Amino acid sequence: MSLPEMAAIATVLNPGNPGKILTWMNRPDSSLGLEIRSIKDKDEDKEYKSPATVGTIKNPSSIATFIVEHMANVYAIGNDDFVYRLSPTIEKIDDASVAGNAASLAGTSDGEKAWLYYLTGGKKQITEYQVDDGPNQTLVNEVCYEKTYIAATYNPDLKRRWVAFQLSSGQIKVMNLDKGTNYIIGDSSQSKLQTPLAMCYVSSGSDSKGGIFVYYTNKDGQLLRAYKTTALGDDSAFSASVNFGNDARTVSQFSQISVTAAPESNIVTYISGAGKNRKLTKFLDLRS
């Protein structure tokens, strides 16, 4: 039986060269691949081939990456439904077991500590795992869509952890874990069920539009973005979603999306096209 198509993608600024972005993805043999791309100019889209065999990374699943102690750390779900660290060392996380058939993994870091998020139990529980420390903490119980993807980011200005996930209604819920507040992106019911999700934080000190940015797709594969300012503190609502329409290439049905905040734009990475025309695509959201 052929495996489902999957494009697990995770991006992070290169700690050794902030002018470059590290793009981690699953290769055709389900091992970990890496592309290094510029944060500014639009790169030529590169051909992408879906995994065809069972390898290190479970198919379908997700990849999470973040910076800890100035090094890029990469995590993925293995075929035994445990989380694995794949870079800078290879290590099975023995107490991080993911619900069977769950495909989502997200992570974020404050530069020293890091947190992973994945589905456990009946696939409607989101668990937080503090890397190299633990213990597990159940964040959401019997609320989220059982096939939801998860996104995570960290606000270093207010020291806040954020996660986003999809509800069974199709709406996207965003949680400020450190303050204990929840937000619904009001018009996100237009999202595709099991939409890919990506999220990043932009400091208001470095950008006039600082805040939380959440990316998702609709049923037609169009890329959308919701935004919440942090200039008004934690209590402001998310704005109406922006549909990038023809400005961004359509996201492939099987592709996940990843976003990394650069000084002048948010860099959104995903697979576009179909069949032999599938491409690794980079879209620059100028935060306008």
CATH number where 244 lies: 2.120.10.70
Q: What is the pLDDT of residue 255?
A: 93
Per-residue pLDDT tens listing for the chain (288 residues): 455 677 899 999 999 999 999 999 988 888 899 999 999 866 667 677 666 666 788 888 899 999 999 999 999 999 999 999 999 999 999 999 999 888 899 999 999 999 999 999 877 899 999 998 866 788 887 789 999 999 999 999 989 999 999 999 999 999 999 998 999 999 999 999 999 999 999 987 755 578 999 999 999 999 999 999 887 666 788 999 999 999 999 999 989 999 999 999 999 999 998 877 889 999 999 998
Q: Is residue 87 part of a domain?
A: yes
How far apart, in Å, do the first and last CA atoms of the chain sit? 46
| Measured CA angle at 63 (ends 129, 18), to 5 deg | 100
Residue 1: inside a domain: no
Whether 262 maps to a domain, the answer reads yes
Q: Is residue 156 part of a domain?
A: yes
Look at the block and give the residue holding tokens 């870091």: 109
Domain count, the chain: 1
Q: How far apart are CA 206 and CA 176, in angstroms?
A: 22
36: Cβ contacts below 8 Å, ≥ 6 apart: 14, 20, 21, 22, 23
Residue 3 lies in a domain: no
In a domain, 4, yes or no: no
Domain that holds residue 197: 9-285
pLDDT reported for residue 1: 42
Q: Is the peptide bond before 18 cis (omega within 30 degrees of 0)?
A: no
**Peptide bond preceding 135 in cis form (omega within 30 of 0):** yes
pLDDT (0 to 100) of residue 288 = 84
Do 74 and 21 contact (CB within 8 A), yes or no? no
The reported pLDDT for the residue numbered 122 is 75
Query: Does the model's pTM come out above 0.75?
Result: yes
